[in-house]
Structure 1
């Protein structure tokens, strides 16, 4: 029997990040090996040790040193949950100033499936750069989901996470 496919879960600093362990558990139960990479600010919101215990892989937020082994197995797919205005715009521009962006840029260049679940407020969604940058990511093959999926943390019920799990199930190589 082969090992479960690997999902890189990229976590940005928006309120649903505070409950990302729940999503990691659901994704693991759904047949993924989950490897979490957080943006620098999101990493400060997470109990990285507890999340590493849940997933069996270290939570990454910093670049590794030259010569250090890669701590995560190669990815089969990625999900950006929650995806913020800052990360989405920088990613669309090709910036790699954080590990999370570097990972996303490499995965995009490799043609791996990437799903994005934005958590962007109405004012930022109306910014003139946002729409064209989402279009640029979609044209590159990124699946950008409806921003209403992720609401405030008290609204992150199991049914909300189920929408994410269901969408990613279709991206799983063994699906």
Structure 2
């Protein structure tokens, strides 16, 4: 579906990333053209599905930075959703450590004022780490909508997660709200 609304769906290596096709389809049904970016580990996890995801989105799946002089293969983003966002991804982003394409884009998008929504996927033990709370505060202060708690992802006890219960609908609704 051709559209001028472009959603960058950026995922890191947490179990909900393993079932992205329905999320892409829902975003497309909402009128988005979707470009899918993954951390290197998430891309490795989805290696067998990447060609199908590229057909579904109509765009190459990206998991690495462009080389100098290499053209950008995606249209400009209207909004971005970084989900699922792991402990490592969120902390790297908040600290400005941009070794992955996903985190590099998200960090730069703050300065470009591209509407950003993120939804963590962390367990309660990682949530208790002191850096996590600081990272969430930094991202929120930069204008990123972080869906953590009652309005998004509720962390589980380690080993007790249910990837199918990840609240993708809340994330897509937040993206819609971000551009209104």
Using structure 1 for the length normalisation, give the TM-score.
0.90
Q: Within the alignment, does 1:5 sit opposite 2:15 as a pair?
A: no
Local SS of the residue matching 1:8: strand
Stretches of structure 1 that go unaligned for 5 or more consecutive residues are none
Displacement of 1:12 after TM fit?
0.4
Residues 10, 38 of structure 1: 8 Å contact kept? yes
Residues 149, 163 of structure 1: 8 Å contact kept? no
**Aligned match of 2:171:** 164
Q: Within the alignment, does 1:148 sit opposite 2:154 as a pair?
A: yes
**Separation in 2, partners of 1:64, 1:135:** 30
**Separation in 1, partners of 2:74, 2:45:** 21
**Aligned match of 2:37:** 37
Local SS of the residue matching 2:83: strand
Stretches of structure 2 that go unaligned for 5 or more consecutive residues are none
Displacement of 1:64 after TM fit?
2.0
Residues 8, 36 of structure 1: 8 Å contact kept? yes
Residues 11, 17 of structure 2: 8 Å contact kept? yes
Displacement of 1:149 after TM fit?
8.6
Paired residues for 1:29-108 under 5 Å: 29-46=29-46, 47-108=49-110
Displacement of 1:92 after TM fit?
0.4
**Separation in 1, partners of 2:108, 2:15:** 26
Equivalent pairs, count: 169
Displacement of 1:28 after TM fit?
0.7
**Separation in 1, partners of 2:164, 2:34:** 24
Change (3 A) 1:75 1:149: farther
Residues 3, 32 of structure 2: 8 Å contact kept? no
Moved over 4 A (4+): none
Local SS of the residue matching 1:170: helix
**Separation in 2, partners of 1:70, 1:20:** 23
How large is the RMSD of aligned CA atoms in angstroms?
Answer: 1.7
Displacement of 1:62 after TM fit?
1.4
